[in-house]
Structure 1
C-alpha cells in the first residue's frame, strides 16, 4: 500500500451536513430597525423576546428567546428566578443611560485645577470622600452577592445592575483619589453598623434593595447633592455632580423594583418589610450620632473650622432631610412607615408634628 493510500484511509470521512440546527428557532423573520438611539436593549424586545415570564425555570444560561437544547445539564440554581423578585420596567432604559453617560475620573476631573485650601477644610473633604468611597465599595459587594443569583430570564436587570456595580467602583476610585489628593491622607473608617447590615441581609434581593436604595441610598444621594452645593470650587462640584447623576439612576431602578414587588406581593409583604426596618433604626441612631462625618460636613458647610457652628446648622438640615425623604420613599413604594414609627432618638431630628 502506498503512502498516499495509507493517508487516505487514516483520514476520517467528512460528515454530510445535517443542518438540523437551522430549524431550531422560534421566530424567524422578526427584524428590529434601529431607532433614534440605535439598536437598544429595549427596542429588540419584540415578539417572544419581549415576553417577560413570571417565572424562569431554565437553570442554564440560555438567553431568553433562544431555542432550548434538550439534555443540557443544570449549571446553577438561580434562587432569584421569579419576575417579582428582581424586575423593574425601567431597567433596560437605565442600562442604556448608564452606558451613554459613563465617565472616567482620571480624564473627566481636572485634578490639577483643585485650589489649595486651609488644612481643616481639606481634612474635612478627605473625611467625607473616605466615607463616600467606603459606601460605594459596600455597594459593589452587596450587588456582587445578589447578581449571580439572578437568572438569565431577566437579563435587563442583570445588565443594569452590572453597570451600577461599575458605577460604584468608579465612585470608590474617584472619592479615594479626591481624599488623597488634597492633603495626602485618607480619613477614618466609618463606624460601619449599617455597612454590615447591608452585607448580611439574607431575606431576598427586595429586602436588600430596601436597605441599599432607601436606607443607604437616600443618604448617599443627599451627600452628593450637598457636596456639590458646598464644594467651594468648580472641580469638586463636577465630581459630585457626575456621581449624583449615577446615583439618581441607581435610585430610579431601586424605587421601581420595590414598587413593583410590593404591588405584586401585597400588604402582608409590605408589613413584613416594615417590621424588618424596626431593627435598622438602631443602626441609624448610631450613624446619625457618630461625630466624625458630621463634624467634617459642618466644616465644609461652614467654609472653615471657625464657622463650624453655622455649618452644623446645615448638618441638622441634612439629617432632617434624610429621615423625611427616607420615609417619603418608603411610603411611595408601599411601606407604611411614618415618623411616629421611628425611635425617639430619630424623631428628635424631625420638627414637632402639629
Structure 2
C-alpha cells in the first residue's frame, strides 16, 4: 500500500491501495481492509491492481462490509496514469459510516473485568470465545445451564489449572511390572473390589460428561473442569480394569442393587443436585474407600492405582463442595432441595440390597490379610471403621454446606449403602 500526495488527487483521493498482481480473493482484501481502517467514515480509497476480476470481487466484498464502491472506467484510470505502480485506478471505495460496519454493532462476549465473566451470557454468543467481538446473526445453541450461579465456583479456575498439571499416564505412573505373588483368595478379593470400582467410575464418568454439554461455554473453566473430570474417570476405569485382569482372566461380580444405585445418579437433571449426590456424597465416600485400599493394598500395583485415583477424586469433591457453597449463598432454598434429593434417592433404593456382599467380604479379606480367625475379626472391624469414617466425612461436608449437625447425621444415614 502506498500513500497518496497530501493534496487531493483525482476524486479527492488521499490514499491509494496498490494490489499489483495480487488477486483480491487471494489476500488482496486484507490490504484493502487495512487501508480502510486508517480512514474515517466518508473518506475514499483508490484501489489499483492488475487482476482482471478485481472490481467484481471488490464490489461484492464492499457490500458485505458496508462500504460504497464505484468502478473507474477508462484506460487512463480517470486521468491518473502512473499514479501507482500496480496500474491505473480500478475502483474507488468510500468508507461506510461506523453504523454500517458489521462489527460496529457487535458486542463483546463478556464484561469489562479482565476475566470478563458475566452472570447471564447472551444465548447468541454461543460458542464464541469469551471476550470475542461477536457478530450478530448466528443461531443460538441450546445451553440450558446459562446462569453463573447455576454452575460456578470461584475455585474452578484454580482446580482446572491443578487438574491440567496433575494428569498422569496409566502406562508409566503404575508399576505394572512390579513383582508380587498373592494367595488366590487375596487376589480374588482384589479382582472383586476392582470390578466394583470400575462400574462406579463408569457412572462417575457419565454424569459430568452429560452436564458439561449443557453448560454455556462462557463459563469455560467449569466446562474444562468437567471435561477433565470425565477424563479422570475414564483413566480410573482403565487402571482398575487392568489391575483386575493382571493375574486372573475374568472380572468379579456386579450386583443388581449396586447398579440400581448408580442408575439413580444418571436420572438427576439438576446440576447442583447431581453434583451433590455424585461428588459430595458419593465420591466423598470413595475418598475413604480409596485411602482404605491404599493402606491395606496387598501389592504395589493395587496401592498405586488407589493412590492415583484418590488424588483425582479429591479434586472432584473439592469442586462439588465449592460449587454448592457458591450456589447456597445465592439460593436460600438450596438446602431443602438437597435434602429432598437424598430422601427421593433413598426411597427409590429402599428395597434394593445396596452394596454387593461380595465387595464387602472382599474388603474384609483385604483388611485381614489372612484366614486366621483373629485376622478376619480385625479385618471386619477395620471395614466397620471404614463405614464410620465415610459417615463422618459425609457429615462434615454437609455441615460445611450449612446443615445443622443433627440433620447432617440424618441425611448421611440415608445415603445409599452402595457408597457412591
Contact 1:285–1:345 (CA<8 Å) still a contact in 2? Answer: no
Query: Per the alignment, in what secondary structure is the counterpart of residue 289 of structure 2?
Result: helix
Q: Which has the higher contact order (CA 8 A, sep 6+)?
A: 1
Alignment of 1:267-306 (within 5 A): 268-282=333-347, 283=349, 286=352, 290-306=356-372
Distance in 1 (CA, whole Å) between partners of 2:264 and 2:344 is 10
Question: RMSD value over aligned CA atoms?
Answer: 3.0
Alignment of 1:67-216 (within 5 A): 67-74=133-140, 76-190=141-255, 191-202=258-269, 204-216=270-282
Query: Per the alignment, in what secondary structure is the counterpart of residue 48 of structure 1?
Result: coil
Quote the offset at 1:346 in angstroms.
9.0
Higher alpha-carbon deviation: 160-169 or 12-21: 12-21
Distance in 1 (CA, whole Å) between partners of 2:400 and 2:371 is 39
Seen in structure 2, the aligned counterparts of structure 1 residues 346 and 188 have a Cα distance that, compared at 3 Å, is closer
Query: Per the alignment, in what secondary structure is the counterpart of residue 192 of structure 1?
Result: helix
Are 1:319 and 2:387 an aligned pair? yes
In structure 2, the gaps of 5 or more residues are 1-50, 66-100
Contact 2:175–2:304 (CA<8 Å) still a contact in 1? Answer: no
Are 1:254 and 2:324 an aligned pair? no
Contact 2:195–2:251 (CA<8 Å) still a contact in 1? Answer: yes
Distance in 2 (CA, whole Å) between partners of 1:13 and 1:341 is 73
**As a proportion of its length, which structure holds more helix?**
1
TM-score (norm 2): 0.69
Distance in 1 (CA, whole Å) between partners of 2:241 and 2:111 is 43
Match of 2:402 in 1: 334
Seen in structure 2, the aligned counterparts of structure 1 residues 147 and 181 have a Cα distance that, compared at 3 Å, is same
TM-score (norm 1): 0.82
Distance in 2 (CA, whole Å) between partners of 1:345 and 1:263 is 24
Are 1:218 and 2:288 an aligned pair? no
Query: Per the alignment, in what secondary structure is the counterpart of residue 117 of structure 1?
Result: coil
Q: Output one character per residue of 1:254-278: Cα deviation in whole Å (capped at 9) or x when no partner.
A: 1100111112101x22112212211
**How many matched pairs?**
321
Distance in 1 (CA, whole Å) between partners of 2:353 and 2:397 is 19
**As a proportion of its length, which structure holds more strand?**
2
Higher alpha-carbon deviation: 273-282 or 294-303: 273-282
Query: Per the alignment, in what secondary structure is the counterpart of residue 338 of structure 1?
Result: helix
Seen in structure 2, the aligned counterparts of structure 1 residues 327 and 193 have a Cα distance that, compared at 3 Å, is farther
Q: Output one character per residue of 1:212-255: Cα deviation in whole Å (capped at 9) or x when no partner.
A: 11221122111111111111333322221111111111111111
Distance in 1 (CA, whole Å) between partners of 2:119 and 2:268 is 24
Quote the offset at 1:341 in angstroms.
5.3
Quote the offset at 1:135 in angstroms.
1.2
Q: Output one character per residue of 1:82-101: Cα deviation in whole Å (capped at 9) or x when no partner.
A: 11111011111111111111
Query: Per the alignment, in what secondary structure is the counterpart of residue 389 of structure 2?
Result: helix
Distance in 2 (CA, whole Å) between partners of 1:299 and 1:64 is 53
Seen in structure 2, the aligned counterparts of structure 1 residues 105 and 140 have a Cα distance that, compared at 3 Å, is same
Contact 1:133–1:175 (CA<8 Å) still a contact in 2? Answer: yes
In structure 1, the gaps of 5 or more residues are 1-7, 28-44, 348-354
Q: Output one character per residue of 1:136-191: Cα deviation in whole Å (capped at 9) or x when no partner.
A: 11111111221111001211100111111000000000000001113222111242
Quote the offset at 1:23 in angstroms.
7.2
